[in-house]
């Protein structure tokens, strides 16, 4: 894979000028009580706390909707999503609908830190808009080999239906697709427009093993990019602060 497409961005404060950000701002910190909020919940409810809705506006003011995964590195919050969801990154809003009972939300502006348009992943730092509430819980990741038949759970916002959870299995774990030389794995979970960038989680451990990048119109199955590929790309960038925890 040609890594010339990998882009590291030192500062994208210009994205926030419309909101009055004239200089780099302090990134959002993880919520200390997030872990305790998850106690007693099912794995499906816990994964909701990792799921984000990504709303991006391009230079022509066209809006796109996608999903993302919340993670933390040294207490700083980031969003992992698909690069095609972010687009040119003129304006990016990210929302976590983290409380199932109260429908409480936390919103951020997103600032692209690094992305690979060929592999189709992007990482954004987050700057909170308004007040934060409890229930935010950054995901943990796994770069372990993906197995055919492995039970998985996909979480995303298809057609704007945030925190939609579907289950399936890994149907193929070594698929090379036409738009890139990277190997993807195929899952039997349902999805729709807005699912791209959402997390694919191991159904037993709850760890994120990949993100959704495409959906087959003919078969309905989802193509996911393994976390292992993203970790290797980030290491090649020399930006260890962006590495998701494994």
CA angle 200, 237, 65 (to 5 degrees): 40
pLDDT value, residue 163: 80
Report the distance separating Cα 27 and Cα 241, nearest Å. Answer: 13
Is the distance from CB of 210 to CB of 200 less than 8 angstroms? Answer: yes
pLDDT band at 210 (very low <50, low <70, confident <90, very high): very high
Q: Would you call 44 helix, strand, or coil by DSSP?
A: helix
Q: pTM surpassing 0.85?
A: no
pLDDT value, residue 28: 58
Is the distance from CB of 100 to CB of 45 less than 8 angstroms? Answer: yes
Mean pLDDT of 194-200: 90
Residue 238 pLDDT exceeds 70 = yes
pLDDT band at 20 (very low <50, low <70, confident <90, very high): very low
Q: Which tens digit of pLDDT belongs to each residue from 42-51?
A: 777 778 778 8
CA angle 14, 16, 17 (to 5 degrees): 65
Cα torsion 181, 114, 245, 81 to 10°: value is: -70
Report the distance separating Cα 170 and Cα 65, nearest Å. Answer: 25
pLDDT band at 170 (very low <50, low <70, confident <90, very high): very high
Mean pLDDT of 18-30: 40
pLDDT value, residue 85: 92
Q: Which tens digit of pLDDT belongs to each residue from 117-150?
A: 888 999 999 988 876 655 578 899 998 899 999 9
- % of residues, the chain, pLDDT over 90: 29
Mean pLDDT of 64-71: 91
- % of residues, the chain, pLDDT over 70: 74
Residue 99 pLDDT exceeds 60 = no
Mean pLDDT of 208-218: 88
Q: Which tens digit of pLDDT belongs to each residue from 153-164?
A: 999 887 777 788
Residue 8 pLDDT exceeds 80 = no
Structure tokens at 108: 């951020």
CB burial class (10 A; 0-12, 13-18, 19+) of residue 122?
A: buried
In which element (H, E) is residue 234 found?
helix 227-237
Residue whose token pair is 């950054």:
138
In which element (H, E) is residue 154 found?
strand 151-156
pLDDT band at 208 (very low <50, low <70, confident <90, very high): very high
Is the distance from CB of 76 to CB of 28 less than 8 angstroms? Answer: yes
């Amino acid at each position: 894979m040609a890594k010339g497409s990998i882009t590291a961005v030192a500062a994208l404060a210009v994205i926030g000028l419309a909101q009055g950000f004239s200089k780099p701002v302090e990134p959002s910190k993880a919520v200390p009580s997030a872990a305790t909020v998850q106690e007693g919940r099912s794995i499906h409810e816990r994964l909701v706390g990792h799921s984000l809705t990504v709303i991006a506006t391009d230079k022509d003011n066209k809006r796109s909707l996608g999903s993302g995964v919340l993670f933390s590195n040294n207490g700083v919050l980031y969003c992992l999503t698909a690069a095609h969801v972010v687009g040119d990154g003129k304006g990016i809003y990210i929302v976590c609908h983290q409380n199932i009972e109260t429908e409480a939300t936390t919103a951020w502006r997103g600032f692209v830190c690094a992305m690979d348009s060929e592999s189709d992943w992007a990482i954004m730092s987050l700057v909170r808009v308004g007040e934060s509430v409890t229930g935010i819980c950054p995901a943990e990741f796994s770069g372990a080999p993906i197995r055919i038949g492995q039970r998985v759970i996909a979480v995303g916002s298809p057609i704007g239906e945030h925190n939609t959870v579907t289950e399936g299995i890994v149907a193929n774990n070594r698929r090379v697709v036409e738009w890139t030389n990277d190997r993807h794995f195929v899952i039997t979970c349902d999805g729709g427009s807005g699912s791209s960038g959402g997390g694919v989680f191991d159904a037993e451990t709850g760890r994120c093993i990949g993100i959704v990048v495409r959906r087959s119109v003919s078969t309905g199955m989802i193509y996911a990019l393994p976390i292992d590929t993203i970790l290797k790309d980030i290491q090649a960038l020399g930006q260890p602060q962006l590495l998701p925890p494994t």
